[in-house]
Structure 1
Amino acid sequence: MGVEALTVPVDVADPEGVRAAVDRVEAELGPIDVWVNVAFSSVFARFDDITPREYRRATEVSYLGYVWSTMAVLPRMKQRGRGVIVHVGSALAYRGIPLQTAYCGAKHALQGFHESLRCELLHERSPVRVTMVQMPAVNTPQFSWVLNRLPKQPQPVPPIYQPEVAARAVVYAAAHPRRREYWEGASTAATLAANALVPGLLDWYLARTGFSSQQTGQDASAGPVNLWDPADGRSGRDFGAQAHERSAQQWVSHHYAPLGTALLGAVMSLFALRRRTAGRPNVRGQ
């Protein structure tokens, strides 16, 4: 596409490594205008089956990796008086589910970090923006790459969306960062709404369905694990046959302002029409 690209492999759990990567990016490509935090790793297992070392590593990558990256890039953005940071979150930043305690814990921590940082930037009246995108289940190789201790192969909980849906969400959030967060996919919106209204009922529902819905009928098999080292470039399961390429909820979410204005205009027009109709005299033939 005629755009220069630069790949800098780095372990986001290493704060000095992240800082060096930012130095190199700005030295070779120029000032960073948009920074997207998205790296993660995790363990599919019951809490009892995860070791302290594994839990620490998942947290260092999936939560502290966001913190270290933001710590490396934010001062530069503040100094220049511009910039956008997008945190890629999940519906699981609000709603914990079984078999993913490490991942859910990291995403909940990220949600708190995001809100606190946003409040500080608002207090400072900083022109730097930070926003968060809460994702649904996405068809990526993660379900083959995470460390798995389940009896069956892990899978995303339907409905599943193609990566392009997630990509559009991030691009839109980067271009419209004033909103504090975006909910992407009908499943995300429904889950977060239900969790706000009836969290206890959701606990019972997930206790009954959360184990089976996250596993395929295939026995678990050994494969690449990205908890300690990258698994990029290696094959993973493809759920494309079940995945949606578009999200109607996403379209509505990204156009809620004009849609709201149009709806308000329609309601006001209807109200005005009814008033005019009510004001007409009722003339009957004699």
Structure 2
Amino acid sequence: MSVSLKPLDQQTLVVTGASSGIGPTTARKAAERGARVVLAARSGDDLRQLAGEIGTDRALAVEADVTDRDDVRRIAQAAQDTFGGFDTWVNDAGAFVYGRLEEVPIEDMRQLFEVNLWGLVYGSLEAVAHLKGRGGALTNVGSVLSDRAIVLQGIYSASKHAVKGFTDALRMELEDEGAPVSVTLVKPSAIDTSYPTHAKNYMDERASIPPPVYAPDVVARAILPAPSTRAVT
């Protein structure tokens, strides 16, 4: 089955995690191709700077915390109020922890899951509720660790396994009911972002990204919808 998508220059995209890393790169690439973008993250100053860079007629900054479902609903409402809705929703917000599982505090594990899993669940359900009536695309950013866990990022790996399970199940349910929504899971490997700087670190050494390391643009190209259709399988 395939879902017809508008050309990107006719779309409005919602991008969570739009203040650093893959998120702002994706938003910039989409805007360069003519799309309007709704930028969501907790860092309002960074969002407003990015919106000003893109152009406030085509970019909207929404300061929001994806772990708060009311905030996620507010993102969707802002897109509706400003641009008449959205055509693609990208869940990219993430939290990161380095450390052995026995040494990472449970509180940090829970917070990581609040962002990586529950924030993505809230965004996905909000997107699907909107897109069922008009068609469009949902893209969730997982990780190569959605398939293979590694040591020292064990709880992050667990969260990304959960993201894959949720995304796969949602895709199958929507396909079963014939909903006009494309659901895609993108699984980046090591990407040249500020990931280690933002991560909590319970190791005895500085956190780093193992090689080979790819540019965020590589992921942005995978996230952005194809010109006309995208398979939901």
Asked whether the two chains share a fold, i.e. TM above 0.5, the reply is: yes
- After superposition, where does 1:161-172 map in structure 2 within 5 Å? 161-172=214-225
Q: 1:111 — aligned with what?
A: 164
* Runs of 4+ with >4 A deviation: 172-176
- Decide which structure has greater strand share: 2
TM-superposed deviation, 1:149:
1.2
Closer, same or farther in 2 for the Cα pair 1:144/1:175, shift >3 Å? farther
Per the alignment, residue 250 of structure 1 pairs with none
Question: Aligned pairs, how many?
Answer: 179
Rate the CA distance shift 1:123–1:35 in 2: closer, same or farther, 3 A.
same
Distance 2:230 2:106 in 1: 36
In structure 2, C-alpha distance between the alignment counterparts of 1:173 and 1:153, rounded to whole Å: 39
TM-score, normalisation: structure 2? 0.73
Conserved 8 A contact 2:76-2:85: no
Equivalent position of 1:18 in the other structure? 72
Distance 1:111 1:9, change over 3 A: same
Given the alignment, which residue of 138, 155, 171 partners 1:102? 155
Structure with the greater alpha carbon radius of gyration:
1
Q: State how 1:59-98 maps to structure 2 within 5 Å.
A: 59-80=113-134, 82-98=135-151
Amino acid at match of 1:78: K
Q: For residue 144 of structure 1, what is the aligned residue in structure 2? A: 197
State the TM-score, normalizing by the size of structure 1: 0.60
2:29 alignment counterpart: none
RMSD: 1.6
Q: Displacement, 1:172?
A: 4.6
Tell me the amino acid that sits aligned with residue 121 of structure 2: V
Q: What is the deviation of 1:176?
A: 4.9
Deviation string 1:135-190 (CA, Å, 9 cap, x unpaired) is 1100000111111111111111211001111111111568653154xxxxxxxxxx
Correspondence 1:1-286 to 2 at 5 A: 4-80=58-134, 82-172=135-225, 176-180=229-233
User: Judging changes above 3 Å, is the alpha-carbon distance between structure 1 residues 98 and 165 closer, same or farther for their aligned structure 2 residues?
Assistant: same
Q: Using a 3 Å threshold, how does the CA distance of structure 1 residues 155 and 58 change in structure 2: closer, same or farther? A: same
Query: 1: distance between equivalents of 2:75 and 2:116?
Result: 18
Aligned-residue sequence identity (percent) comes to 34
Q: Could you tell me how far apart the structure 1 residues matched to 2:227 and 2:120 are?
A: 16
Pair 135,175 (structure 1): closer, same or farther in 2 beyond 3 Å: farther
The answer to whether the Cα contact below 8 Å between 2:171 and 2:232 also exists between their aligned partners in 1 is: no
Q: Which runs of 5+ in 2 are unaligned?
A: 1-31, 33-54
Looking at secondary structure, tell me which structure has more helix per residue: 1
